[in-house]
Chains A and B, each alone.
Chain A
Amino acid sequence: MTLIERIQMLADAVGTPGNEVEVRRKISSLLPDECTRHIDALGNLLVEKKGAKTPGKPIMVSAHMDEPGMLVENADLTGGIKFSLSGNLDLQTLSGRRVWVLSGGERLPGVIGIKPVHVLRPTEPDDPMPADDLFIDMGFTKKEEAEKLILPGDAAAFSGEVKPFGDRMIRGRALDSRSACAVLLALLEEELPFDITAVFTVQRETGSAGMKTAAFQVQPGAAVILESCPAADLPTLGAKKDSPKLGGGPALSLREQKSFYDQELFARCMELAQREEIPVQVRSAAFGSGDGLAAQTSGKGTRVLELGIPSRYPLTPCCVQSLKDLDNLQKLLLPLIGELGELL
């Protein structure tokens, strides 16, 4: 299975915070037989893979499974479905989209529409609609009809698929999480120099509850977090000077918001990349910490190395990533396990 096929398979699953079961099932089905696996109380998938040697302290490599989405609240009299947002979604990217509502193991289609631009009153602002005013239209005509199929608490997510895009890029839904999951799965198929614990976490988008508890269980000597990171690399859209660029390689985080990551791990990884001639970028962001911060502050604390996959339009149903960056991340990870094993 190629990387893009693996990403397409994983992205074709609804996995909103707290409702990661479809994704977890797909990941489990792709795990090599020799891995031992465990699903914890919150739904994290912890996978142990033996390497040539056992490191002094455990090496943890993680990717989160969840994507931002919605939870169904109730149906109104006309059969419209009210929902609550799970995770940070930009209001500009909610309406005019198609969704999947996951109910009783079945995926039902719906749309989020808004009143036509023609009927806006002249004094009415044409700003994006607040989520509280939006409904999912699944084609029901009355409340009772909706209630037969949909229950409060059912998960909903933007639908769509992952497609090849531009110059060796991909475009589509849930790439924020699933491309990192695919890279981690590929690592588990390699002959490893040291044992690792691969952790597929839950609930990153609503506060990294999954990573908090996973890191506590693993107590790693070093945690390698694979995550997407926002990229504003197009000058026409107002590129930021310090933003990672698509195609520039994985972005090593010095800092995210309040988390200043481990300097030695960063330096080792940087040197390794130079030695192996793998392109990487440096990232220092004043926003957006997630599983990195959660791992760092879990239990007695963890040394964190965060490797970002530069992503345009993150957290939208139309995220864009470069396959070159994913390839380079894959290339970097195997020798990195060796490097970390020697260090710990």
Chain B
Amino acid sequence: MEAIELIQTLAQVNGVSGGESSVSGVIAELCAPFSESPVQIDGFNNVICTIRPPKEGEPHLLLEAHLDEIGFMVTSIADDGLLHVTPCGGVDRRLQAASPVLVWGRPKTPIPGVVGYLPPSLDTPQHPTQKVDEMVIDIGYSKEKAKTLVTWGDRVTADMEPMCLRETRFTGKALDNRSGCAALLLAGEMLAACRDRLHCGVTLLFGSMEEVGSAGTRAAAYDIAPTHAIVVDVSFSPTHDMPQQKYTGRLGDGPMIGYAPILSKELSRYLEKTARKNSIPCQVEVMGGRTGTDADAIAVTRGGVKTGLLSIPQRYMHTPVEVVDINDVKQTAMLMLFYGYALGGGTI
């Protein structure tokens, strides 16, 4: 599998929190060739792929990336056919006005829509920005027709085809966290190729509902019961409008290895050492409190799991124009490969 094709495929699929079945299906298919047993999709839309089950007494490594994305959910249809929606996850209200969206309703192909708003020329010179829970979607149909196409709970995503900006830079919606999913798939494929030489169990989890509190991941991690975990997500790469001394993760400079109270320092140090030894570029990210990722949930599964966090640097998180560097995705996969190989005493 090629990193760029994986991201291209994954970023166009719909998978808003709680409505991830499409993206789960696509990921399950991508895992199938290298999964040791049939890939599972559970009731939460989590995708679980076993690379190697642990033997008695061996450590069990869980590699996780969340597969959901932020978006909206339809709550009702107004008399003029506009769809009332509620946000799923941290939707950014500053850039929603008149943005193109897709409503994933009854028809097989998504319904094009626009986030409705009153342009300033008609009213005041600068209309106040709409609150995120007051937003509506215009799909250009009467209420009667809209009712045949859309129903409560249908999800809404940004309408933005993924594309390459230049060389290794890639842009699109939902790169948080489909770029993490791509890294996980690449790592899974490489680990499966050398499964006979591993000394630990390895399971891939593509977790659901991270953007709304990690419910999916929590349930699956309980079921899998790992001893060790590495979570892959995206994190902030500084832009012009961010304090440069605080946010230091640069695009293209490799995965960011996380340090936080909930993360295993021993595991993080080991990741850093492994990266250096194998000439994998990496950076660090220090978080004094919560990580704001599935790592927070996984680390406290059952009696506790030694957890590490690899973050792919990203610009413009939670916008339809998120940007990542493909090389960071590949390096993240490499680092997971080396860790999986070493855990339990494997040597390369």
B114 touches A313 (CB 8 A): yes
Judging by beta carbons under 8 Å apart, are B165 and A235 in contact?
no
Q: Is residue B263 contacting chain A, with contact meaning CB distance below 8 A? A: no
Is A96's CB under 8 angstroms from B320's CB? yes
What's the nearest-Cβ distance from chain A to residue B256, in Å? Answer: 15
Size range of the chain B interface in the assembly? 35 or more
* A-B pairs with beta carbons under 8 Å apart, 25 shown: A91-B126, A92-B94, A94-B95, A95-B95, A111-B323, A114-B94, A114-B95, A114-B319, A115-B239, A115-B316, A116-B317, A116-B318, A128-B94, A138-B165, A139-B323, A167-B140, A167-B142, A167-B145, A234-B82, A234-B138, A235-B79, A237-B136, A240-B122, A243-B122, A313-B98
- Contact present for B121 and A314 (CB under 8 Å): yes
Residue of B whose beta carbon sits closest to that of A163: B112
B97 adjacent to A118 (CB under 8 Å): no
Residues of A within 8 A of B (CB): 76, 78, 80, 88, 90-98, 109-119, 126-129, 133, 135, 137-141, 160, 163-167, 169, 171, 230, 232, 234-240, 243, 287-288, 312-318, 320
**B230 interface residue, CB < 8 Å from A?**
no
Question: B139 in the interface, Cβ–Cβ < 8 Å?
Answer: yes
Q: For the complex, give the distance between the alpha carbons of A316 and B121 in Å.
A: 12
Q: How far is the CB of A102 from chain B (nearest CB, A)?
A: 16
Once bound together, how far apart are the Cα atoms of A319 and B138, in whole Å? 11
In the bound complex, residues from chain B placing their C-beta under 8 Å from that of A163 are: 112
Chain A residues whose C-beta falls within 8 Å of the C-beta of B167 in the assembled complex: 139
Closest to B243 in A: A119
Q: Are B140 and A232 in contact (CB under 8 A)?
A: no
Residues of B within 8 A of A166 (CB): 138-141
When distances are taken between beta carbons in the complex, the residues of chain A under 8 Å from B120 are 90
Which residues of B lie under 8 Å from residue A97 when comparing CB positions? 95, 99, 320-321
Q: Contact at A115–B242, with CB atoms within 8 Å?
A: yes
B78 / chain A contacts, CB cutoff of 8 Å: 235-236
**Is B129's CB within 8 Å of the partner chain A?**
yes
Give complex CA distance A109, B164 in Å.
9
Nearest to A288 among chain B residues (CB) is B121
The answer to whether B119 and A315 touch across the interface, beta carbons within 8 angstroms, is yes
B-side contacts of A116, CB under 8 Å: 92, 236, 316-319
Q: Which residues of B contact A96 (CB under 8 A)?
A: 92, 94-95, 99, 316, 319-321
Bound-state Cα–Cα, A315 to B138, Å: 17
Q: Do A118 and B319 touch (CB < 8 A)? A: no
Q: Tell me whether A128 and B82 are in contact in the complex, defined as CB-CB below 8 angstroms, given that A118-B90, A234-B116 are known contacts.
A: no
Q: Which residue of B lies closest to A116 (CB)?
A: B317
Cβ proximity bits B95-132 to A, threshold 8 Å, 1 near / 0 not = 11111100000000000101011111111001101000
Given contacts A114-B95, A119-B242, is CB(A98)–CB(B118) below 8 Å? no
Q: A240 CA to B124 CA in the complex, in Å? A: 13
For the A-B complex with A92-B96, A129-B94 known, give 14 more contacts whose Cβ atoms are closer than 8 Å.
A90-B127, A112-B321, A114-B95, A116-B236, A126-B93, A139-B169, A165-B114, A230-B122, A235-B78, A236-B82, A287-B122, A313-B98, A313-B119, A315-B119
- Partner of B138 from the list A94, A109, A312 (CB cut-off 8 Å) is A312
B222 sits at the interface (CB 8 A)? no
Residues of B within 8 A of A (CB): 78-80, 82, 84, 90, 92-100, 112, 114, 116-123, 126-127, 129, 136, 138-142, 145, 160, 163, 165-167, 169, 171, 236, 239-242, 247, 252, 292, 315-323
CB distance A90 to B119 under 8 Å? yes
CA distance A316 to B277 in the complex (A): 51
Select which of B118, B138, B160, B171 is within 8 A of A238 by beta carbon: B118
Counting chain A CB atoms within 10 Å of each CB, which of B78, B92, B123, B139 scores highest?
B92
CB of A171 within 8 A of CB of B121, answer no
Question: In the bound complex, what is the Cα–Cα distance between A314 and B100 (angstroms)?
Answer: 14
Contact assessment for B318 and A237 in the assembled complex, using a CB-CB cutoff below 8 Å: no
Chain B residue nearest to A233 (CB atoms) is B80
Complex Cα–Cα for A164 and B252 (A) = 39
Query: Which single member of A92, A114, A165, A287 contacts B97 (CB below 8 Å)?
Result: A92
B90 CB to nearest A CB, Å = 6
In the assembled complex, the Cα of A97 lies from the Cα of B99 at a distance in Å of: 8
**Bound CA–CA A118/B139 (angstroms):** 29
Distance (whole angstroms) from the CB of A206 to the closest CB of chain B: 15
List residues of chain B with CB within 8 A of the CB of A318. 98-100, 114
Assess whether B316 is in contact with A316, with CB atoms less than 8 Å apart.
Answer: no
Q: Which of A126, A236, A243 contacts B136 (CB 8 A)?
A: A236
Q: Which residue of B lies closest to A97 (CB)?
A: B321
Contacts of B118 in A (CB 8 A): 232, 237-238
User: Which residues of the partner chain B approach A169 to less than 8 Å between Cβ atoms?
Assistant: 140
Residue of B99, B242, B252, B317 near A141 (CB, 8 A) is B252
Contact in complex: B315, A113 (CB < 8 Å): yes
Residue of B nearest to A76 (CB): B240
Complex contact A137–B315 (CB within 8 A): yes
Contact: A135 with B94, CB < 8 Å?
no
CA distance A70 to B246 in the complex (A): 31
In the complex, are the beta carbons of B239 and A128 less than 8 A apart? no
B99 to chain A, nearest CB (A): 6
Shortest distance between the CB of B109 and any CB in chain A (Å) = 11
Shortest CB–CB separation between residue B149 and chain A, in angstroms?
A: 10
Could you say which residues of chain B place their CB within 8 Å of the CB of A126?
A: 92-94, 129
Partner among B117, B292, B319 whose Cβ is within 8 Å of the Cβ of A113? B319
